Amino acid sequence: MSFTVSLRAIVPYITAMSECNGHIEPDDNGISDSAGIDSLRLKKSSRWSPLSRHGRNLLKKMNKTVRSHNLFDDGDRICVAVSGGKDSLTLLHLMLEYRRFYPIDFTVDAVHVVSDFNPHAAEIREYLESMFRSLGIGYALIDVEVTVGKDGKRCDPSCFWCSWKRREVLFRHTADNGFSKLALGHHFDDVAETTLLNLIYHGSLETILPTRQFFEGAFDLIRPLFHIREREMVRYAALAGFESTRCVCPFNDLGKRQVMKRFLRDLSKESKLLHSNLWGAAWKWHEAFGDEPLHTQRANRGGPPDPRKKKRGQ
């Protein structure tokens, strides 16, 4: 696997925007008088590139999530988790571009968790560090051992353990360094897959949310790409020339999430509103039961008994 860094792969959209010679027209419901993301109308220009047009469309969808769920506040210090894949690279790139237009002041830093289970970890680290420096943003590169269990002994990492350790490192870094937000690159396909996973295997409609508070307000976890489909991000990464990495875990293609991904791909041929309907149902569930998992509510708040569990003697 080869990792080389070019300026085009790092700041392609910024370059494309500058070539439009500032031909920007906000409409009457823009974010500000000078510029609004979902309300910007760039005049037609022969110098528009496919990347510029596609990037603008993604920024509009990102702005829908930001405004609907109040993801950004003035003075925010936002830490973007960057794995090196298409999702996180697109997130970082769009966050930096979004900052140019949004009427409040916030900073963007990056963090990359270096796993001891990835044989290409050193190459990815070098690639991302060069990118972060070229972008002129603060960053942190943190090593994590997922091949060591709780007892300190070597082990084969499971999907749960690997995810847990990486999330633990991200949360600790965010809290210890005073960041107000941790941004993750989950997209609308992830929402549908998580909803189905919980429905089929746990009998609930709990799913990932656009934003969620952690540790009694220490920081918020946000997902600015929440309403963007995966295929749109694949196209953006290809147009931008990102040399994104792919998960090399041997269990990746065998996991339940991959089963859900294939299932959704087939079922979406019959229903074009499948992803939106799943999110709509999950949001109604969230409004009814809140952000806390249902089984925890039953145990701690005297909620209704779990109908899946039979009483003794039955």
More confident position, 295 or 251? 251
Q: What is the mean pLDDT of residues 169-180?
A: 95
Q: pLDDT band for 101, please (50, 70, 90 cuts).
A: confident
More confident position, 179 or 26? 179
Residue 187, classed as helix, strand or coil, is coil
pLDDT, tens only, 102-146: 888 999 999 999 877 776 788 888 999 999 999 999 999 998 877
More confident position, 33 or 283? 283
DSSP state of 105: -
Mean pLDDT of the chain: 78
More confident position, 307 or 191? 191
pLDDT on residue 160: 72
Quickly tell me which residue has 């993750």 as its tokens: 184
Neighbours of 180 (CB within 10 A): 19
Distance in angstroms (rounded) separating the CA atoms of residues 236 and 239: 5
Closest CA to 92 of 197, 242, 202: 242
Q: pLDDT band for 189, please (50, 70, 90 cuts).
A: very high
Neighbours of 100 (CB within 10 A): 10
Show the tokens assigned to 281. 């149902």
Distance in angstroms (rounded) separating the CA atoms of residues 182 and 168: 12
Sketch out the chain's domains with CATH numbers.
Answer: 7-301 (3.40.50.620)
Q: pLDDT band for 24, please (50, 70, 90 cuts).
A: very low
pLDDT on residue 18: 38
pLDDT on residue 249: 61
CB 176 within 8 A of CB 248: no
pLDDT, tens only, 205-226: 999 999 999 988 899 999 999 9
pLDDT on residue 253: 57
User: CB neighbours of 227 closer than 8 A, spacing ≥ 6?
Assistant: 61, 62, 64, 65, 188
273: left (phi over 0), alpha (psi -120 to 50) or beta: alpha
CB 219 within 8 A of CB 174: yes
DSSP state of 161: H
Residue 109, classed as helix, strand or coil, is strand
More confident position, 115 or 67? 67
pLDDT, tens only, 152-171: 777 776 667 777 888 999 99
pLDDT, tens only, 233-245: 999 999 888 876 6
C-alpha to C-alpha distances, 203 to 145, 302, 307, 309, nearest whole angstrom: 33, 19, 10, 12
Q: pLDDT band for 150, please (50, 70, 90 cuts).
A: confident
Is a pLDDT exceeding 60 seen at residue 203? Answer: yes
Rank 14-23, 44-53, 107-116 by mean pLDDT and report only the highest. Answer: 107-116
